[in-house]
Amino acid sequence: MLQSALLSLFVLASGVAQAAIEDVCLPAGDSSRVVAAGGSIAEMLYSLGAGHLLVAVDSTASYLPETVSLPSIGYVRNLSAEGILALKPSLILGEHDMGPAEVLNQISSVEVEVKRIDERHSAQGIIDKFVCIARILGKEDTAQDILRGQLAGVLTSLEKATEASADLPRAALVLNFVDNQPIVAGANTSGDGLLRMAGAQNVFSDIEGWKPLSRELLIAANPEHLVVTERALKSIGGLEGMLSDPLLASTNALSDDNVHAYGGMSLLGFGLQTLEVALSLKKAIE
């Protein structure tokens, strides 16, 4: 039953990716020297056993220990054509927000293949991205084995989480604290997608994007669970720092010891690690 369900999921993922971005997911002409612009892209290459093809990554891949010895091309949204072309890449695989556009145009003009991978903030979106990259690199069989094997249980559990509709745990996700004010995930953010994947209700789904809020508004929303990046937790002095703040300490999340911290890219990068984080959070809030 499970094998059949996962096979159907793989076929569906392939169809979705192909229908949505058919040209992007076609096999690359030459994948011998790959530059990955986006941490999730690099992570998926390593998962597919294709890490040896990488000649450089951007700074968002620094959470992956395998990338320590690789050159960095800077930040995914602020790339330099000169720095990338000096590496003589045959293929650039990037996340949807890589840029700026003029840099990508300059690289394409010298006949380096550039593929920008679509991203949707859901488990299915991660699978589609994974399948697309596998197709580009000629690693579809490897991707299928991974989906049916090591990720089968994770995907099944997350599917059940998204099917739930009533009495969802109320949660907020904080990207960082700036001057002790939280920056929270609203609708149409990776943070909102992560909470939905884990079967939680985002208490700030009525606002759009990432927004700085006063602590008073966070307290008024009174989430039962608070999901934070490790960077956010460190910036406010750790759990002790939160508990020493009378406003934050008054929330149900703090009083019930329901603060969940994860590495920023694992939490919000929407690579395969994000599936594992979503499952970990699901279990923590059940």
Query: Which domain does 91 fall in, by range?
Result: 2-150
Q: Are residues 227 and 124 in the same domain?
A: no
Q: What's 77's domain CATH number?
A: 3.40.50.1980
Contact 43, 64 (CB under 8 A): yes
* pLDDT value, residue 12: 46
Query: Which of 150, 181, 216 is at the close of a domain?
Result: 150
Assigned domain for 155 exists: no
Residues 6+ away with beta carbon under 8 Å from 153: none
- Which tens digit of pLDDT belongs to each residue from 194-248? 999 999 999 999 999 999 999 899 999 999 999 999 999 999 999 999 999 988 9
Q: How far apart are CA 219 and CA 270, in angstroms?
A: 28
At residue 51, the 3 state secondary structure works out as helix
Cα separations in angstroms, 155 against 4, 129, 238: 13, 15, 32
Query: Which of 122, 150, 178 is at the close of a domain?
Result: 150
Per-residue pLDDT of the chain (286 residues; tens, 9 = 90+): 333 344 445 444 444 444 444 689 999 999 999 999 999 999 999 999 999 999 999 999 999 999 999 999 999 999 999 999 999 999 999 998 999 999 999 998 998 999 999 999 999 999 999 999 999 999 999 999 999 998 999 999 888 766 666 689 999 999 999 988 999 999 999 999 999 999 999 999 999 999 999 989 999 999 999 999 999 999 999 999 999 998 899 999 999 999 999 999 999 999 999 999 999 999 999 8
What burial class does residue 12 get, using C-beta atoms within 10 Å of its C-beta: 0-12 exposed, 13-18 middle, 19+ buried? middle
Q: Are residues 8 and 117 in the same domain?
A: yes
Q: How far apart are CA 164 and CA 142, in angstroms?
A: 31
Q: Are residues 145 and 200 in the same domain?
A: no
Q: Are residues 131 and 249 in the same domain?
A: no
Q: Are residues 144 and 240 in the same domain?
A: no
Assigned domain for 159 exists: no
Q: What length does the chain have? A: 286
Taking each helix axis from N to C end, the angle separating 272-285 and 152-163, rounded to the nearest 10 degrees, works out to 50
